[in-house]
Amino acid sequence: MAKTTVSEEKIREAIAFHGHWCPGLATGIRVAELALKEIGKAEDEDIVAVAESDTCAVDAIQVLTGCTVGKGNLILLGIGKMGFSFYRRRDGRAIRIVGRPPKPGEGPDEYRTLQAKSNNEGLTETEASRFEALRQERGRRILEADLDELFEIKEPIRPVPPHAPMKRSLTCAECGESVMETKARLSDGRTLCPDCFDREILRA
Ligand SMILES: [Zn+2]
Ligand SMILES: [Zn+2]
């Protein structure tokens, strides 16, 4: 019996959005569950999330919390850590959810061996279906685990991200395309988009 309080229907929605079932998505479902409990849902509150890496988990967080990259209330840092911060602007309440690192030797040897082989020389058909079965099982176990077994709740390291106002656009003097004012560069007094700026730097 699954311990998660996220409904079957919501889980199916997350799988449909993400495209497959995997341990990373399961982790994201549990992160979202904890964030909804502690901070609330972005549709009802002014909430901003910061994910420290771009993993499968992020897709579940987008479906379940209402914090999305497109709306600008989900920011991806790409620093490769399993940390997810949620900030509620109304009262400044904020948490950072951090995945507990595996204990040395944790997880079946078979899983770790197959994972390593999959990353290196690749798997045979039999190994691939065994690995898939183990991944399914791992995802299911994440859904059934206690939240405090999976995560630690800490204080966010970073301050709440500022509101993202609509950015004015400028026209790049080189390619003629529009570029957000905040991303435009100046070179010899000409306004350039980042791509044209980089090309000019390489030419110089
Ligand atoms: Zn995935
Ligand atoms: Zn340009």
- The ligand that comes nearest to the alpha carbon of residue 198 is 2
In the reported structure, the alpha carbon of residue 164 is separated from the centroid of ligand 2 by a whole-number distance in angstroms of 23
Nearest Cα to 154, choosing from 99, 95, 196? 95
Alpha-carbon distance of 129 to 7, in angstroms, equals 28
Give the tens place of pLDDT for each residue, 5-36.
999 999 999 999 999 999 999 999 999 999 99
Identify whether the C-beta of residue 65 lies closer than 8 Å to the C-beta of residue 42. Answer: yes
Q: 144-163, pLDDT tens digit by residue? A: 999 999 999 999 999 999 88
- Taking a C-beta distance cutoff of 8 angstroms, is the pair 74, 62 a contact? yes
Query: Mind listing the pLDDT tens digit for each residue in 53-89?
Result: 999 999 999 999 999 999 989 999 999 999 999 999 9
Domains of the chain: 8-154 (3.30.1330.130), 169-203 (3.30.60)
Q: Write out the residues surrounding ion ligand 2, Cβ under 5 A.
A: 172, 174-175, 193, 196
